[in-house]
Amino acid sequence: MERADKPIFEGYALVTDMDGTLLDKQKEISPDNLAAIHRFVSEGGRFTVATGRIVEPAGYFARQLPVNLPAILYNGAMIYDYEREEPLHQTLLPRAAEQALQRVLEAFPEIGAEIYVQGEPYPYTIRDNAMTARHRGIENFPLQAVDEVKSIPADWLKILFAWEPVLLDQASDEMVRLSSGTGVEWVRSDGRYFEMLPQGATKGDALEQLLALTGLELDKCVAMGDHLNDLEMIRRAGMGVAVGNAHPLLLEAADHVCKSHTEHAVADVIGWLEQRIRSERP
C-alpha cells in the first residue's frame, strides 16, 4: 500500500519514447502532455525519454521538459545526463560491424546508411538516399558524407539503414544473416529504418541500467512506446504501456494500452497511473 501522506508519484519513474508516443504528428509536445509531465514531476515523479535520437536532436525536446532522470539515447546504446551534459554509459559496436556494414552495402546498392560515432555530434552518411535525406531533415543535422567505410572514425554506437518500407521488409532477413556472428543485434525503429546495435544495447537493457544507476524500483517504472525498438523496454518495465497507434506486437505485450500519440498519450498515462496508485492506497 502507498502512504496517503506522501506525494502521489514519489518513487515512480515514467520513461517515454518520443516519436509516435510523446510527440504528435507535427513532432511537437502538446500543451496537455507538457502540463501533465510537470504535474507528475512536481508530485515526486521521475521522468525521462528513451529514443533512437542522438544527443542534440533529443536535447531540443528534453530541454523543454522537466527531465529529472538521465535519458536513453541511440535506441539504448547511450545513457545521457542532460544536467551534467555527459554520457553516463555507452555500448559500442564490435569492430566486426564494419565488415557487416560493407556486406550490406554490397548486397543492397540502393540502401542508405548512417553511422553514429562516439563523441561525434552528427552521423556519417556513407550512402545517401531519399530516406536518409528525409531522416536528416527531421533530425535537423547536416550531411556528413564519406565514400568508404575505412574513412569513418572508430568507436561506433549504431548504424541506421534507411530505405522504402517495402524494400526493408524484403531485405531485413538477409541483412541479419550478413551480420551473423558479429556480436550485433537489429531493431526496426520505424517502417523506414532498420538499425544495427551492439548486442545487449536495446532500450530494455538501457532501462535496467538506468534504474540500477538511480536506485529506482523496476516495479514502479512505467515505460511507454509505439514501435519495435520499444518492445524490450515495455516488456521489462514494471508497467509496460503501448500507445493506441502502436505496432501490434507492442499492443500484445503491453500491460496497458493508452490513447494515441495524437490524443496526448503521456497525459493519459499519468492520469491512469494516478488512479492506479490511489486505488492501492489505504
pLDDT tens, residue by residue, 163-210: 999 999 999 999 999 999 999 999 999 999 999 999 999 999 999 999
pLDDT at position 3 over 70: no
pLDDT at 4: 57
Q: Quick check: 1 pLDDT over 60?
A: no
Residue 191, CA atoms < 13 Å, CB-side half-sphere: 7
pLDDT in tens, 108-144: 999 999 999 999 999 999 999 999 999 999 998 999 9
In 4-43, which positions are buried (b, 16+ CB within 10 angstroms) versus exposed (e)?
Answer: eeeebbeebbbbbbbbbbbbbeeeebbeebbebbebbbeb
Cell of 232: 524490450
- The band of 29, judged by pLDDT with boundaries at 50, 70 and 90, is very high
CA dist., res. 38 & res. 17, Å (int)? 17
- Taking the mean position of all CA atoms in its chain, how far away is CA 36? 21
Quote the cell numbers at residue 38: 510537470
pLDDT: is 2 or 150 the higher one? Answer: 150
Q: Alpha carbon of 226 to those of 183, 233, 241, 266: distances in Å?
A: 26, 11, 9, 12
Tell me how long the chain is: 282
* Domain-wise residue ranges, the chain: 13-90+202-280, 97-198
What average pLDDT does this structure show over 270-275? 98
Assigned fold of 13-90+202-280: Rossmann fold (3.40.50)
Which residues share a beta bridge with 78? Answer: 73, 90
CATH class of 97-198: alpha beta
Q: Determine which helix (DSSP H) or strand (DSSP E) holds 220, and give its type and residue range.
A: none
The 10 Å Cβ neighbour count of residue 238 is: 16
Q: Can you tell me the distance from the alpha carbon of 127 to that of 110, in angstroms, rounded to the nearest whole number?
A: 8
Provide the mean pLDDT of the chain.
95
Whole-prediction pTM value? 0.93
∠ CA 139-144-146, nearest 5°, is: 135
Pairing of strands 221-225, 193-198: unpaired
pLDDT band at 86 (very low <50, low <70, confident <90, very high): very high
Q: 3-state class of 158 per DSSP? A: strand
Q: What is residue 73's three-state secondary structure?
A: strand
Phi then psi for residue 109, to 5 deg, are -60, -15
| Single-letter residue type at 244 | G
